[in-house]
Copies of this chain bind each other. A is one copy, B any other.
Amino acid sequence: MRACIISIGNELLRGKTVNTNASEFGMKLTLCGYDVVRGLTVMDDSDEIAWALEVGMESADLVLTTGGLGPTFDDMTVESVSKALGLSLTADPVTSERLRKRYAKLGLEPTPERLKMAMIPEGSRALQNPVGAAPGVFLKVHNKMIIILPGVPEEANAILDSIMDEIRIRGVEYYSESRYLKGVMESSLVRIVNTVMKEMDSKVYIKSHPRHSETGNPAVELEILARSDTKQHAMDLVKSAFSMVLEQLNEGKNKGQE
């Protein structure tokens, strides 16, 4: 199953905010068994949100959006998604009641901007926000899952955590491990990595991350990933691959190739 993450907000595009949500959610969806295949960052603009949603639904089974759920004029995610899907908006009664109570307690009016946060697309489910005001939204359309989350990381993570069990793909376990290899050049690893991935029949994915200049004082973080039906088997695959890589690296060194 494939996933696409859509991040909404001008502040992300002009670099005001580092998109930690995309990596946090990417990791969580990966651990739930999904292949995260595309990430899109778009402006606070209804057409741009509609474009991203279309690309997301073409690319993936699960589309997760983050950002644009607050009370301000440029928070337009729910409205834009609903419009793009041809769905009308209805007030979620639980959220409306909660918002009214929260603002009343502070002696404040339930203005239309504030109550806007309770509006969700018809046929969707509000995902209660234990941290902030705007709820998340869970929606199934055309056999696709759509999850709409706020942009504030604490709120979005709390909501996503509450549905992890529901969206988890059963029988797909993921394992990854990294090792820091000092004195190893990324370019020396290329053939070894290719050989090991082939020998292991592509059951593992090996990625090297240069951690120092290739020709200065080289160092590489070697990361090996595997998916399997059990955690133990995924782990065994990763361990075998590490042994093979390290063995071939040592052989190379002994032969004086490096």
Residues of B within 8 A of A38 (CB): 13, 40-43, 48
Chain A contact patch, size range: 35 or more
Is A143 on the interface with B (CB-CB < 8 A)?
A: no
Residues of B within 8 A of A96 (CB): none
Number of copies of this chain that the complex holds = 2
Interchain CB contact under 8 A, B43 and A41? no
A→B interface (CB under 8 Å)? 5, 7, 10-20, 22-30, 36-43, 48, 70-74, 102-103, 105-106, 108, 111, 113-114, 131-133, 152, 176, 185-191, 193-194, 205, 207-210, 213-215, 223, 258
Of the A-B pairs whose beta carbons lie under 8 Å apart in the complex, a sample of 24, sorted by A's number, is A11-B223, A13-B36, A13-B37, A13-B38, A14-B26, A16-B27, A18-B19, A18-B23, A37-B48, A38-B41, A38-B43, A38-B48, A70-B186, A72-B186, A72-B190, A72-B193, A73-B194, A105-B215, A106-B215, A113-B190, A132-B213, A133-B187, A133-B214, A133-B215
